[in-house]
Chain A
């Protein structure tokens, strides 16, 4: 039984069809990397899964929460799906701890004392227990991104979406964020990542999904995908990313 089930997803911006019928199933505990060139639709696909992008056709199902085109109540879906962004998007007027505590208090109406404990645990998990009272602009990019991960974790999502979460980081800060993601993967969190970190994708993910021009061109285990690409597009893409 799949935790995430995408069926026939179509998405257009005006005349520009960016997703042309996507079917994808993700099982519990699976770690999936979406790879492909920019403009291939991978970020858009990820953003449809928690309703940040509305779909024109198809259906999204996450752990029993369904979304159809035009549906406006996305609460049930979003309670199951966490998201971490390229630009961190921490709330600048709140401390790290307050960033993590906000949604559980406001959305889930949990008591502040309980949420404080949850937030401390979440920040400890990303290695930032001592930064509870620091403001985002007092933290490095890597630390901010780890707070963002903790903020998402505090809502106890069933699946987490990571949208190029290391792309805005200085190279020396990438690893501390990837280490956290690796730890989550090892603990059995279901993860969908859009990433350009091919080495990381290869090591940590159990499935690679290669997208090309709004379609899933190939998917499979990383070794298979990397060593035996079936399509010329993927072969070319691998050539491009491994040259670096």
Chain B
């Protein structure tokens, strides 16, 4: 796929583009998505790590808050007209500080929590009720002020069993009686099979993740399937820039760290000369996996990680060396220019 994408970047001719489109369509028919859903497990819960303040700060710092991108128009949700104001420098600074606080709210990461356990509690069995009706009865407690998760929803089966409703029915009933805006009663086909694949191949990552956040709860196995597959797709295609400055970058980084697959992201950071962020990523990795290291500097930390924990050591070390050389040369050049100017 990446080869085809590169070709399509090079081509501007519309006739040739249609050929590429054909190839892409054709290749999709042959190669299906081979990603496996990676859910967070109940036994090894990521929640205590994820909600740790230090880790949250690291994730936020890695997200690289660009206000232009945080407040850009999204494909999901309502649109608002821009407002123009004349401000003095001082007022502008105040406004920007205010906006930064709002941006933090926009960047709240979808939480990493273990998948919910199935509900199968049976309240009573009464075989004498067999034959009462050919359809099930679903009873929902609509008493005021109960959370969606705690609400009693019971099903009387046709064989007379009264039991807790499973999660799918619960979601449906909650949406029927307590609808959430933008959430649909039926899960859109977009999240399934070839439609989902198309979205990923078109690199509409933010769109699909935003939509998944609206449609599902974070502990829904379906949400974790969509999110994990999307993250893996991004990781394989090195499309991290698509997610930067969005709320999903933190969750994706955490996912990659949790599943020990940060090499591509690390390579991306090293290649783009963000050595600070690279060391932050490694710090994150070490604190999530409880790896003890001595107090050492950024560069040494990266070197240590590449030696002991990376999966793509050769490539990463090459890139690391190249970046170090580049930065050194840059420093020398700057120094040279300074001297030439007589400072």
- Tell me, yes or no, whether A binds B: no
Chain A interface residues (CB < 8 Å from chain B): none
Chain B interface residues (CB < 8 Å from chain A): none
